[in-house]
Amino acid sequence: MARERGLVDVESETGLALAKFHLGQLTCDAARREAQRLAQLRQPAHRYLSMLWLGIGDRAKAEHHALAAYRWAWADGEPYVHRYELTKTTELLQQMNVPVPVLPPYDPTKDEPFLWEADVRAAIEKLKAGKAKKK
């Protein structure tokens, strides 16, 4: 459907290439060219690319994409992760005997406040002060 609309759905395209490879509809050379093309897209589907490279037999590229998938899935850190992708990527790394990276947990001090946050805090304080005067 994305192709009919002239859009690129990177995850679907990569999943399709992986499925075609496993079905024998893509040769190793064709799968390699497709994996290289898909890796050049703006936000590659790293986990699927890793699986495709693993199937092709290029362990170094499979490891590279698996680690990139893990970093993406980690997002801001526990508990703010992409849970499904993190679980699946962890399983993939374990299957490949690649150590799971230790990434920093979520740090709320690194969050930048929203532009409107100060206004909301001021409004809350104003309401609290108004209630305190009434009592």
Determine the 3-state secondary structure of 133 from DSSP: helix
List, in sequence order, every residue forming a beta bridge with 80; answer none if it has no partner. 77
Confidence of residue 133 (pLDDT cuts 50, 70, 90): confident
Report pLDDT digits (tens) over 62-113: 999 999 999 999 999 999 999 999 999 999 999 999 999 999 999 988 888 8
The helix (H) or strand (E) run that includes residue 39 is helix 28-39
Domain ranges of the chain: 10-104
